[in-house]
Amino acid sequence: MDNGSDMLETVSGTGCMVSSVIGCYVGACGTSVESVSAAISVFNIAAEKAVEGGKVFGPGSFKTKLLDSVYGLTKDDVDGSIRMELRKV
């Protein structure tokens, strides 16, 4: 998964937030690698949108922008934005 922002590491609770998104996806789509991967990618796209425009000055403003971004995320925001590649480990 290649989406996201380094700012996610600066805010306590973002792991809990993405876990909630994963729960929503698994509840709606069933347990699968695809459901979990899509949920994480969508959350990471919200993080990218939060830092767009350069109005994030630190963890406090990022947290607010992230919450707003998750709330306002649309299908159009996500379509074509997921950057993911299957890698053999």
Q: Are 39 and 25 in contact (CB under 8 A)?
A: yes
The 3-state secondary structure of 7-65, one letter per residue: HHHHCCCHHHHHHHHHHHHHHHHCCCHHHHHHHHHHHHHHHHHHHHHHCCCCHHHHHHH
How far apart CA 6 and CA 2 sit, in angstroms, is 12
Tens digit of each residue's pLDDT (9 = 90 or more) over 26-85: 999 988 888 999 999 999 999 999 999 888 999 999 999 999 999 999 999 998 888 878
pLDDT exceeds 90 at position 20: yes
Give the residue among 32, 36, 42 at the shortest CA–CA distance from 76: 42
pLDDT exceeds 80 at position 86: no
Q: pLDDT band at residue 14, thresholds of 50, 70 and 90?
A: very high
What's the whole-model pTM score? 0.87
pLDDT of residue 88: 82
Q: pLDDT band at residue 1, thresholds of 50, 70 and 90?
A: confident
